[in-house]
Structure 1
């Protein structure tokens, strides 16, 4: 089988290519030219491809990445939301445009170095957690449409990160430290705020108020804040204060004590159904509301097409609109959607960002 492997120059994608080649597949390396830093990683990828004996080509998707991923990232921050660009990239770039390019080259499947599993059956393809719990990356693939999963291979889903490194080391390949995975591949040597300002995200100044509406200070732009933030608020108070709401229409930052950062339910939209059976109202799941958080229990309180309301069994803090919520049944990824509102107990201010 001919397989196009997305090769970044890091340990994971290198090991994925090696494993597929060892399994007898006809492996073709594909390096996405996404932004200016891809020029460095392209050189690394060429060296690695030569060492493992696979052809590799550069796929220029810069304009698409700038529009689809960076453009949304900038827009979300400008509206007071907390974006998740990696999920957008996996859906639209890697398993969208790159997949189409690979198929045009005669590839049967596309592979990446994510720590997750895809099980292909006669009926459909299911996305599962990776066996390495500490490195599981199924969260980042939850927005990939089911039809795209049918053409996806994930060679690292059944092994650990330690085994991955051993595979690469046993081939005598040294991966530069800077070429390994990063949080956001398109931001280097800058804070998020610096990057946003450099790219023209200029929001108006506005008031910082407490949960009762009292003005405590002024900020220079909402893009420097996110729900749950404590440090860098630019105000002083006798007790710690946290961002509990961002109003992008009035450019208001609302702050309060830690108890006001807890929410009881979330509303998500554009839900991407991936499970073996549909989500039913009243069904209990485990949900992740950000990549670094542990899954927590919730109940699907309402289900209407691609819009869901999820009620947490225990209040959760630091949940921000713009983030992705991913549902699980044991190891199975049921699907993922974008958080657009959160709700708290009566009498406690909602930690939502108001939609522009």
Structure 2
């Protein structure tokens, strides 16, 4: 019998992933990662719900304490990023270093199982021509989560299954209700687990970063107001600036050296190019010549045409056909060719 370890967060998606694989004849073992204390879906409440699902499905449930790994790779990573004036994207970092890699290692070394599965909405396909595992968008464009998975390696893709990639969220809910799963009608998590646990990103960051008052200035350096810490701001932000102006103003740059937040109109927030570091090439091998593709610079942003110029040290330059608003240092730029995710990396500051 085929065996698989399913990562269970306590939500409906991971619950249905486990039930689907069990229905397909797999011997399923549920695994929940203990990331941190708090009310987040992946923490205390989630562990209880995951245990209930395993009991309902009649499968083994294991919990692995990975709080130290989460602290080092996510919390410390976030805090240092915000202190440096960038807006880190924790989810892709978490998927590779905290979830998939430790889960697959635990499955192989402790349980003798070579495959893991999650409730992510994405697809994996092996391409014989390139001898690579390709990462594809989910069938449901509203739920596609491939953007957050760009940092997965070939080894991790080879050992992973995404049972929900070929269905819609509505179909997931319907299957959960047909099986009377205890999580069938559980509300969907809308925020990062850190936000769920602390109430807001600002409250989380204020716990770790001391507030230092500084100036909010326009592009000419004129002081328009005061801020209580650059970590409260992100590129493209309009609301919550606390300043009055004749036209809408947005955060266009954060200066950690001078402790300043720089604002301008929407046109000033457009960028025609950026440099991306820590590139992870997924569905294709690392390119040494320029290519054209599409890029998403945020999870909910629309893919736009881009010219990709390879640099050294896993870096590329992206040149957009038209200026893009809200290109944010610390966030991910993910390259696509239609439904195929080519690779991605982290947007560098100017």
Q: Is the structural similarity TM-score above 0.5?
A: yes
Q: Which sections of structure 1, spanning at least 5 residues, go unmatched?
A: 342-351
Cα displacement (A) at 1:277:
4.1
SS at match of 1:13: helix
C-alpha spacing 1:56/1:182, structure 2 compared with 1 (3 Å)? farther
Residue 314 of structure 2: aligned partner: 306
Indicate whether 1:112 and 2:113 are aligned: no
Residue 80 of structure 1: aligned partner: 85
Q: Aligned partners of 2:290 and 2:321: how far apart in 1?
A: 12
Query: Would you say the 8 A contact 1:131–1:158 is kept in 2?
Result: yes
- 1:254-265 matches, within 5 Å, as 254-265=262-273
Aligned residues: 341
C-alpha spacing 1:339/1:278, structure 2 compared with 1 (3 Å)? same
Query: Under a length normalisation based on structure 2, what TM-score does the superposition of the two structures give?
Result: 0.93
Residue 158 of structure 1: aligned partner: 166
Cα displacement (A) at 1:158:
1.1
1:130-156 deviation per Cα after TM superposition (whole angstroms, max 9, x unaligned): 111111110010011222111111111
Residue 26 of structure 1: aligned partner: 27
1:282-326 deviation per Cα after TM superposition (whole angstroms, max 9, x unaligned): 311111111111111111134334100001112110111000011
1:56-106 deviation per Cα after TM superposition (whole angstroms, max 9, x unaligned): 111111111111111111111121111111111101011111221111211
Residue 167 of structure 1: aligned partner: 175
C-alpha spacing 1:178/1:223, structure 2 compared with 1 (3 Å)? farther
Return the match for 1:328 from 336, 341, 344. 336
1:1-51 deviation per Cα after TM superposition (whole angstroms, max 9, x unaligned): 211100111111011111111111111000111111312211111111111
Query: Would you say the 8 A contact 1:280–1:300 is kept in 2?
Result: no
Residue 48 of structure 1: aligned partner: 53
Q: Which sections of structure 2, spanning at least 5 residues, go unmatched?
A: none
Q: Aligned partners of 1:90 and 1:283: how far apart in 2?
A: 27
- 1:1-356 matches, within 5 Å, as 1-36=2-37, 37=39, 38-104=43-109, 105-121=111-127, 123-175=131-183, 180-188=188-196, 190-198=199-207, 200-341=208-349, 352=350
Query: Under a length normalisation based on structure 1, what TM-score does the superposition of the two structures give?
Result: 0.92
C-alpha spacing 1:262/1:279, structure 2 compared with 1 (3 Å)? same
SS at match of 1:336: strand
Query: Would you say the 8 A contact 1:267–1:340 is kept in 2?
Result: yes
Query: Would you say the 8 A contact 1:208–1:252 is kept in 2?
Result: yes
